[in-house]
Amino acid sequence: MPIDTNKIRTLRRSRKLTQVAAAARAMLNQSQWSRIESGERYPSLLSLERVAKVLGVPARELMKQGERP
């Protein structure tokens, strides 16, 4: 599932969270968060839900619109 990596990065920074802090809140490690944020790895649905919760948005808001994997 394609995700909007720029949106994840922008939301994280606007909430003044480091990757380490955001990852810990999402029960991921920093490496996993970094790979998701860089687009190197697509998150599982569970991970996407956790990322969205940390960022305070619905998971669907983190998905790219109009694109298919």
Yes or no: say if 52 and 59 are a contact pair by the CB < 8 Å rule: yes
25 belongs to a structural domain: yes
69 belongs to a structural domain: no
- Tokens found for residue 51: 């990322």
pLDDT tens digits, one per residue of 14-63: 999 999 999 999 999 999 999 999 999 999 999 999 999 999 999 999 99
65 belongs to a structural domain: no
| φ, ψ at 3 (rounded to 5°) | -120, 155
- Tokens found for residue 59: 């998971």
Residue 32, domain CATH: 1.10.260.40
Q: What single DSSP character describes residue 68?
A: -
35 belongs to a structural domain: yes
Number of domains in the chain: 1
46 belongs to a structural domain: yes
Range of the domain at 42: 5-56
Q: Where is pLDDT greater, at 12 or 66? A: 12
